[in-house]
Amino acid sequence: MVMRPGNARPGAWLVACLALPMLAAPLAAQVPFDGGRGYNQCANDAYRRAGPPPRGDPRPGDDLAMLERRRQEYEDRYYRALDQCLRDTENRRVRRN
C-alpha cells in the first residue's frame, strides 16, 4: 500500500517520514566515521612528515618571493604525504575486503 497524505491518518504520514532517516542512520553512520578517522590520522601523519610550517608573517627586509616559495614547498610536501597515506590506507582496506 502506498501511503498518501489524502488516504492515511495525519499522524501516520508524519511518523513514516520521521522513521525513515532513523532506520537508515545506523548503517550510513559507520562509513563516514571510519573514513573521517582515517583522514584525520593521515592528516596528522602528513603534518609530522612535512615538518613545521614556514613563518607566514613577513618582516621588514624579508624576500617575499622566498617566503612564498617556502610556503609552496611546505604545502607540496604536506599534500604529497597526505595523498600517499590516503592511497596506502585505501589499498590496505581493499586488500582486507
14 belongs to a structural domain: no
23 belongs to a structural domain: no
Domain of 76 in residue numbering reads as 30-96
22 belongs to a structural domain: no
Contacts of 9 (CB under 8 A, 6+ apart): none
18-37 tens-digit pLDDT: 555 555 544 444 444 456 77
Question: Considering its fold, how many domains does the chain have in total?
Answer: 1
Report whether pLDDT(68) > 90: yes
Write the DSSP symbol of residue 91: H
What is the reported pTM?
0.58
15 belongs to a structural domain: no
35 belongs to a structural domain: yes
What span, in angstroms and rounded, lies between the C-alpha atoms of 19 and 24?
9
50 belongs to a structural domain: yes
SS3 of 1-44: the string is CCCCCCCCCHHHHHHHHHHHHHHHHHHHHHHHHHHHHHHHHHHH
What span, in angstroms and rounded, lies between the C-alpha atoms of 38 and 85?
9
Which residue shows C-alpha cell 491518518?
A: 9
78 belongs to a structural domain: yes
Rounded to an integer, the average pLDDT of 54-78 is 92
* Cβ atoms of 68 and 54 closer than 8 Å: no
2 belongs to a structural domain: no
